[in-house]
Amino acid sequence: MAPRTNGIGVQVENTRICVVMVGLPARGKSYIAQKAQRYLAWLSIPAATFNVGNYRRTDAPQPPADFFEPNNQEGERKRRAAAEAAVADMLRWFKKGGVVGILDATNSTKERRKWVLDIMTQNNIEVIFVESRCDDENLIMANIRDVKTTSPDYQGQDPETAALDFRNRIRNYEKVYKSLNEDGDEEDLTFLKIMNVGKQVIINRIRDYLQSRVVYYLMNLHIRPRSVWLSRHGESMLNLEGRIGGDAELSHRGEEYARKLPELVLESVGSDRPLTVWTSTLKRTIATARHLPKHYNQLQWKALDELDAGVCDGMTYQEIADLYPDDFQARDEDKYNYRYRAGESYRDVVIRLEPIIMELERSEDILIISHQAVIRCIYAYFMQKPQEESPWVPVPLHTLIKLTPRAYGTEVQTYKANIQAVSTWRGKGSTAKHEDPSPEKSLFQTH
């Protein structure tokens, strides 16, 4: 029978953690919260974000700045009710098997933090506070620009009016804001302080493995606006034959794509600033990168190699179905967890990609040239694709993908080389050498 694997990515036993975000508006809290949730879910750790602003919008969809004035009793009542609703939902979620819940709000006073701590402690849930502090005016302004164009609070409003209102909202929060342990009376709390986008990090009383895992990720995360570029290698000779894996040379059309790629990158980047190029160690990705500008630094990562198909390497899907019919069926039933004989599963690929993701989060201006399964896994990380969907995502050849993470999602842009290539996507049950995905399966949706 075909080998199978199950279970969540990290054995966390009975650990449950509430991550409480802390900080003024426009400090990247929602961005950090979303990224942490995506990272944990990508590693198969059940995680969810509870954004208090979303709860508040049911009562006050687009409130003016004075709604957040400390002396506005009606505003305070509605904000408190939103926080209570978010915490109640989080507790219900924990009871259903949640492991890491993230409370995304300002939590800017000691009183509010103590209230959350007391509730979670009563329910045997660990609490870690994560504060993002920033006095870099350029970064704050970049975050304000992002929020006023992506936040539901300012949808349909004049951008300049929105920016002014948001500035006034921040001033109202500043009147009551207390940084974590500012008065020296919160030193018993477990917390992480990220100062000026990671220039300084303060860690206090981290207690166990899962907390340290979350903290390590957040230490490597920066909130400066940036993009990541992804591309598969050019069409290969084995692609033409409908064979998987291998270490083939590029086809004639694949060579054309390699020559066209520098033009696509320049169009997408919008300037001649250099990117750092990461390829796998396989010939077809290295060949695809070879015409990029000489001032682009190029690095080869074994972790970016294609999913190892084991004994099926170099076969067509028809050959796999004929020789290993049980395996062929088992893979269709659970493609994420199915492991090829003497090879890998998608779950295995995710585990070996974790160092890549960590390095990606601390870097800027990276272009990754890799393979279908690897690009699917990286795309799933940024776009929060569920495990059962990610192995079926179409990633066409001869296409450059630009991903730009935002506070409320990830923007996707694509640049097609308009050079023909075979399709390597395969639907469930199919043994076709080349099959086009249905339109609704299109990869390129803004999330």
Q: Mean pLDDT for each 10-residue chunk of the chain (447 residues)?
A: 44 81 93 91 94 94 95 96 98 97 97 98 97 88 76 88 92 97 96 88 93 90 83 98 97 98 97 95 98 96 98 97 97 97 98 95 94 98 94 97 86 97 94 78 46
306: annotated active-site residue: yes
Residue 328, pLDDT score: 96
The one catalytic residue among 146, 153, 235, 306: 306
Residue 441, pLDDT score: 54
Q: What's the DSSP call for residue 153?
A: G
Residue 438, pLDDT score: 65
Residue 445, pLDDT score: 43
Residue 272, pLDDT score: 87
Residue 137, pLDDT score: 86
Residue 1, pLDDT score: 43
CA distance 334 to 346: 10
Closest CA to 219 of 237, 232, 202, 207: 202
pTM: 0.86
Longest CA span, the chain: 74
Does residue 276 sit in helix, strand or coil? strand
Q: What's the DSSP call for residue 293?
A: -
185: annotated active-site residue: no
308: annotated active-site residue: no
Helix (H) or strand (E) holding 212: helix 209-220
How many other CB atoms sit within 10 Å of the CB of residue 254?
25
CA distance 245 to 308: 7
Contact 226, 364 (CB under 8 A): yes
Structure tokens at 351: 């585990």
The one catalytic residue among 131, 165, 222, 233: 233
What single string gives the DSSP state of each residue in 64-122? -GGGG-TT-HHHHHHHHHHHHHHHHHHHHHHHTT--EEEEES---SHHHHHHHHHHHHH
The one catalytic residue among 104, 165, 256, 313: 104
CA distance 210 to 312: 36
Residue 436, pLDDT score: 86
Residue 439, pLDDT score: 56
CA distance 293 to 207: 47
CA distance 379 to 93: 26
CA distance 29 to 21: 6
How many other CB atoms sit within 10 Å of the CB of residue 8?
12
